[in-house]
Amino acid sequence: MAIPANIDFSANERFKAGFDSWFWVSMMAAVLIHFATFALWPELTADNIAIDRTELTSVDMIPEIDIPPAPPRLARPALPIVGDVDIAEDVTIASTDWKDHPVDELPPPPPDVDQRITAQASNITPFTLPPAVLNSDEVVRAMRREYPSVLRNAGIGGNVRVIFSIDEEGRVLDTELEESSGYESLDAAALAVADVIEFSPAMNRDQKVAVRVVFPIVFKVDDLRQ
């Protein structure tokens, strides 16, 4: 198709119009260059990049493991059986007389013992049977009587620990406060109750001994409610 000469085309339109000619010219030039290159320089070849797979590594197989059989089941333990045994009801334990088995005099403490510990130990009287309260009912009545009414009505109680010095016959020689309840009126009530308590003598084997013991006097509203 003829293009009129009087029409003005832009540069882009002129390039598009001549594209077919330039395309085929460039394709022919590229083919000629390739043939000329291989014809003039036949030694131009690509490097061999293949991987050699001829070497094989042998691996020893793990030997088979013989699994031993399971152990035999354990037998259940036999249940205990209570046998019929005749036990006499009048069996008694013979009384022990310490006179037949006297205790020799104890040796003195070693010289490296702390003298303070020795002094404290000298004030402690050993006993095998502690003193027991003999008049529990009277003690309960005294606690009800001495319980401060202000603390009782407020539901306040307390635990007072009192030290009793008791002679060989169980008589109370002295009382003193060992631990306070936190209320002076309750502590005074506990010391008043302590004057009423009667004890049995403390025993060290077969001997009556004088001791110092601590007894708690506990005030509770529920326990002393009339």
Q: Name the least confident of 4-18, 25-39, 46-60, 211-225.
A: 4-18
Which tens digits make up the pLDDT trace of 58-80? 777 778 888 888 888 888 877 77
Q: Which CATH class is domain 136-219?
A: alpha beta
pLDDT band at 42 (very low <50, low <70, confident <90, very high): confident
Given this model, what pLDDT does residue 1 score? 46
Q: Are 160 and 180 in contact (CB under 8 A)?
A: yes
CA atoms within 13 A on the CB side of 142: 18
pLDDT for 92 beyond 70: no
Q: Dig out the tokens for 190 from the structure.
A: 């506990």
**For the chain, which residues make up each domain, given as ranges?**
136-219
More confident residue, 14 or 66: 66
DSSP 202: E
pLDDT for 201 beyond 60: yes
> Where would I find the beta strands (DSSP E) of the chain?
158-166, 172-179, 202-204, 207-209, 211-219
Give the residues across from 202 on adjacent strands.
209
DSSP 78: P
Which tens digits make up the pLDDT trace of 120-157? 444 567 888 888 888 889 988 988 899 888 888 888 88
What pTM was estimated for this model as a whole? 0.44
Number of neighbours of residue 202 by Cβ within 10 angstroms: 24
Given this model, what pLDDT does residue 161 score? 92
Number of neighbours of residue 54 by Cβ within 10 angstroms: 4
Mean pLDDT of 189-215: 89
Q: Which long-range contacts (CB under 8 A, 24 or more apart) does 81-88 make?
A: none
Q: Three-class SS of residue 159?
A: strand
Q: Are 212 and 165 in contact (CB under 8 A)?
A: yes
